[in-house]
Structure 1
Amino acid sequence: MPFVQTNGTELHYTERGIGEPIILLMGLGAPGSVWEEHVRAYESHFRCILVDNRGTGRSAKPEGPYTTKMMAADTTGLLDALKIGEAHISGISMGSAIAQEIALAAPGRVRSLSLHCSWQQCDNYTRSVFETLGSGYSHMPADEFQKLLQLIIYTPSYFNQNGGKLEAARDTALLEEQPMPVHAFLAQCEACITHHTTGQLGAITAPTLITVGDRDIFTPLRLSQSIAAEIKQAELHVFEGSGHTHHWDRLEDFNRLTLDFLLRHRNLV
Structure 2
Amino acid sequence: METSRTKTTLTKLGLICLLSLAFIACTKDDQPTQPPVEEVDYHLKAPTKFALVGQAKFAYRILGNKPGIPLIMASSLGASMDDWDPAVTNGLAQNNTVIIFDIEGVASSTGKTPDNVADMAKGVVNFIKTLGYTKVNLMGFSMGSFISQQIVLTEPGIVNKLILTGTGPKGAQGLSNLPNLLGAAAGLSPKESFLKFAFTSSPASIAAGKAAWKRSQKRTVDRDVALSPETGLAELTAVLGWAQPYPEALNELKKVTQPVLIAQGENDIPVPVINAQNMAKSFPNVKLIVYKDSGHASFSQNHDQFVTTANSFLKN
In structure 2, what residue type is equivalent to 1:128? N
| CA–CA separation in structure 2 for the residues paired with 1:162 and 1:102 | 32
If the length of structure 2 is used for normalisation, what is the TM-score? 0.72
Q: Summarize the Cα distance change of 1:146–1:39 in structure 2 as closer, same or farther, 3 Å threshold.
A: closer
Contact 1:90 1:113 in 2 (8 A): yes
What corresponds to 1:202 in structure 2? 254
Match status 1:180 vs 2:227? yes
Match status 1:150 vs 2:204? no
CA drift of 1:124 comes to: 6.6
What corresponds to 1:91 in structure 2? 140
Contact 1:136 1:145 in 2 (8 A): no
Residues 229-252 of structure 1: per-residue CA shift (max 9 Å, x gap): 221211111112211111111110
CA drift of 1:43 comes to: 1.9
Residues 175-199 of structure 1: per-residue CA shift (max 9 Å, x gap): x994211111111111111126713
Match status 1:78 vs 2:127? yes
Q: Summarize the Cα distance change of 1:167–1:221 in structure 2 as closer, same or farther, 3 Å threshold.
A: closer
Q: Summarize the Cα distance change of 1:27–1:167 in structure 2 as closer, same or farther, 3 Å threshold.
A: closer
Number of aligned residue pairs: 256
User: Who wins on radius of gyration, i.e. which is larger?
Assistant: 2
In structure 1, what residue type is equivalent to 2:144? G
Match status 1:60 vs 2:110? yes
2:240 to 181, 188, 193: 193
What corresponds to 2:38 in structure 1? none
What corresponds to 1:267 in structure 2? none
CA drift of 1:61 comes to: 5.2
Match status 1:11 vs 2:58? yes
| CA–CA separation in structure 1 for the residues paired with 2:127 and 2:213 | 36
What corresponds to 2:307 in structure 1? 255
Taking the TM superposition and a 5 Å limit, the aligned residue runs for 1:113-262 are 113-123=162-172, 125-130=174-179, 132-133=181-182, 140=186, 144=189, 146-157=191-202, 158=204, 160-161=206-207, 178-195=225-242, 198=249, 199-262=251-314
| CA–CA separation in structure 1 for the residues paired with 2:184 and 2:216 | 14
| 1:46 counterpart SS class | coil
Gaps in structure 2 of 5+ consecutive residues: 1-47
